[in-house]
Amino acid sequence: MKMNTNFCRLPALCLSLIISHSALGAHHEDKGEASLFHKAFQGTFNRASEKTIDLAKAFSEEQFDWRPAEGIRSVRESILHIASGNYGIGRRLGLDLPEGIKPRELEDTIHGKDATIAAFEKSIRFALKAANQVEEAELGEMVNFFGNQMPKMAAIMILNDHTSEHLGQLIAYARSNEVIPPWSQ
């Protein structure tokens, strides 16, 4: 069985980011600029989030309630699940939830295409704020992540992983509904 070489390079990339953050991060922090790690995170997270928004807009209002089978999240529920994750992870990074936001209730309380997209966009801003408020020196601090301890840096990276994972799910949903992802047209 051949192993994916890009996956094998992930630990090396993470290690290089950790090492470079001590040399480059201090320089950037003094100027009030984002560190190399934060810039890399922002770029990938923003790209995945923007694609998710673009794809959400390509679905019709009726398609927002489409699900591939009973018991599996609909398009709307999948987008709100990502939003819930943005809030949940942001909270674990130390940022207080906005007034009235209950991440576990988003899928049950928000309906309609426009409201879903607006809720997702708000969660993106919250996640970015949470990630950016973590100082360079705090990236190695451990946080409780669903019963496991992990460095804040890993929790920040999961924000992007979670969005990208469900973007892939939504691409499959789109193709099943003859919706062409906007970047593929």
Q: Per-residue pLDDT tens for 138-157?
A: 999 999 988 999 999 999 99
Q: What is the pLDDT of residue 41?
A: 96
* Other C-beta atoms lying within 10 Å of the C-beta of residue 33: 12
Name which of 57, 80, 67 is nearest 180 in CA terms.
57
6-20: burial string, b at 16+ Cβ within 10 Å, e else? eeeeeeeeeeebeee
The reply to whether the predicted model has a pTM over 0.95 is no
Q: Tell me the pLDDT tens digit for each residue of 104-138.
A: 999 999 999 999 999 999 999 999 999 999 999 99
Pull the structure tokens for residue 128.
């970015």
Pull the structure tokens for residue 44.
């990938």
* Other C-beta atoms lying within 10 Å of the C-beta of residue 144: 10
- Domain architecture of the chain: domains with CATH: 38-65+72-184 (1.20.120.450)
Q: What is the pLDDT of residue 162?
A: 97
Q: Tell me the pLDDT tens digit for each residue of 62-101.
A: 999 999 999 999 999 999 999 999 999 999 999 999 999 9
H or E element at residue 145: strand 142-145
Pull the structure tokens for residue 166.
């469900």
Q: Which parts of the chain fold into alpha helices (H)?
A: 5-20, 26-30, 36-58, 75-92, 106-109, 113-132, 152-176
Name which of 111, 107, 123, 103 is nearest 64 in CA terms.
111
CB 59 within 8 A of CB 113: yes
Q: What is the pLDDT of residue 34?
A: 82
